[in-house]
């Protein structure tokens, strides 16, 4: 899944998106001026291939809402957690409404997937997560994320849980450095994995893996770790959906080498789809040199994140 340069497709974008190992495009604020422009851009992307490429965006609300003018302002997920502390039922209802709003507005313009909900716990340690997290209580996060996913589904949109197995306990920002979470596996499993496991049981369609090292489990970032991506996620948790890497251009992913080496490491670990979002020259080099192998069940898993018709808000 690759990025797009600007507000409309240029020749380099078209060549990149036509490459046979590209399955989708991820959009950012640089790709947005207004709803009509975005609708035209998405239509052009979808017209390039048959079946169409999947179009995705990070559109969580709060600090991470790529499209603003012409879209509903989505509050940070922490506000839902604060409501949960006062009224659990009202918070779940509001989370469903928020999920439907995100899904409905994006699906109306042809976008298939928002990389949401954030399932990280708020330990008060991570500025990059911070108010993106629903709560510090894993049961609250599981409850609210499940409710938000119901809203997304009603609008015709799949969900993507992130950042597996949990980014909230480390202060370092994986965009700029390599975070290391020194806790034992049992401590992580008893708290951080609770929301991920709950959403897997609910039928979560996709998951994004963190560029965080958990040395008590394996001394590589989770996105390069067969133990996290295959043994634990697929084996212990029973996840059968699509696994995305986080953006391989981030500093937290740099431990494996250049972008081709990073892509190889992510796929060997068990990621199905790798993201090359912003360093487009490096993405072009990746497409010219990388030869990924065939992924078991990839077509079926990929189809689960493709857009589908939506209906009215269920609350």
Of 44, 173, 175, 240, which one is the catalytic site residue?
Answer: 175
Does residue 120 carry a catalytic annotation?
no
Q: Which residues contact 281 (CB under 8 A, 6 or more apart)?
A: none
Of 246, 247, 264, 272, which one is the catalytic site residue?
Answer: 246
CA–CA distances in Å: residue 87 to residues 80, 83, 91, 142: 10, 6, 6, 16
Does residue 13 carry a catalytic annotation?
no
Cα-based angle 147, 149, 155 (whole degrees, multiple of 5): 115
Active site residues per annotation: 175, 246
């Amino acid at each position: 899944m690759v990025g797009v340069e600007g507000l409309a497709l240029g020749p380099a974008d078209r060549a990149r998106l036509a490459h046979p190992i590209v399955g989708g495009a991820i959009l950012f604020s640089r790709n947005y001026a207004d709803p009509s422009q975005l609708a035209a851009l998405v239509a052009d992307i979808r017209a390039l291939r048959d079946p169409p490429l999947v179009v995705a965006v990070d559109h969580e609300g709060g600090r991470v809402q790529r499209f603003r003018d012409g879209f509903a302002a989505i509050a940070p997920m922490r506000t839902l957690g604060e409501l949960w502390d006062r009224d659990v039922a009202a918070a779940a209802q509001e989370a469903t409404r928020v999920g439907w709003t995100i899904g409905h507005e994006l699906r109306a313009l042809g976008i298939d997937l928002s990389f949401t909900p954030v399932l990280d716990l708020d330990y008060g340690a991570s500025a990059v997560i911070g108010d993106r997290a629903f709560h510090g209580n894993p049961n609250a996060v599981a409850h609210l994320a499940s409710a938000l996913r119901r809203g997304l589904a009603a609008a015709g949109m799949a969900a993507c849980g992130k950042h597996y197995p949990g980014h909230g306990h480390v202060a370092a920002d994986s965009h700029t450095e390599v975070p290391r979470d020194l806790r034992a596996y049992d401590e992580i499993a008893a708290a951080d994995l609770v929301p991920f496991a709950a959403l897997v049981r609910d039928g979560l369609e996709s998951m994004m893996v963190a560029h965080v090292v958990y040395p008590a489990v394996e001394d590589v970032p989770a996105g390069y770790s067969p133990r996290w991506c295959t043994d634990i996620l697929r084996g212990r948790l029973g996840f059968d959906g699509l696994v995305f890497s986080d953006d391989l251009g981030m500093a937290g992913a740099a431990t494996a080498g250049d972008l081709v080496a990073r892509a190889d490491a992510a796929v060997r670990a068990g990621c199905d789809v790798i993201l090359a979002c912003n360093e487009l020259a490096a993405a072009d080099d990746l497409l010219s040199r990388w030869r990924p192998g065939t992924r078991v069940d990839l077509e079926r898993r990929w189809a689960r994140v493709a857009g589908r018709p939506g209906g009215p808000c269920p609350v």
